[in-house]
């Protein structure tokens, strides 16, 4: 159970950190801090930052993929642990 929680939290936490960083990076280009990009604020760098923030499906579904990933890994570790435990007892 501990392995599952650690892997799940690492996966979702990493995606959350990436999302926060992408939002912060985009906000650097909002010169007048009004939340709307216009005029001289629209640059190639700002467009790239906007694309990175808005087109990352993996971040949005990290809670699902993190669950599946953590479940597979933790189940594998549990089964291997049971096999090793039985082998050592014999």
Which pLDDT does position 42 carry in this prediction?
85
Which pLDDT does position 55 carry in this prediction?
83
Q: Decide if 9 contacts 69 (C-beta within 8 A).
A: no
Percent of the chain at pLDDT exceeding 90:
50
- Which pTM does this prediction carry? 0.76
Q: Decide if 61 contacts 47 (C-beta within 8 A).
A: no
Percent of the chain at pLDDT exceeding 70:
100
Domain boundaries, the chain: 2-89
């Amino acid at each position: 159970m501990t392995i599952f929680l650690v892997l799940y939290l690492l996966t979702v936490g990493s995606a959350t950190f990436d999302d926060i960083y992408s939002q912060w990076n985009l906000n650097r280009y909002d010169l007048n801090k009004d939340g709307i990009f216009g005029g001289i604020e629209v640059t190639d760098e700002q467009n790239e930052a906007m694309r990175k923030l808005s087109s990352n499906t993996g971040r949005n579904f990290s809670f699902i993929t993190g669950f599946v990933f953590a479940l597979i890994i933790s189940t594998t570790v549990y089964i291997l642990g049971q096999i090793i435990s039985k082998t050592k007892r014999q």
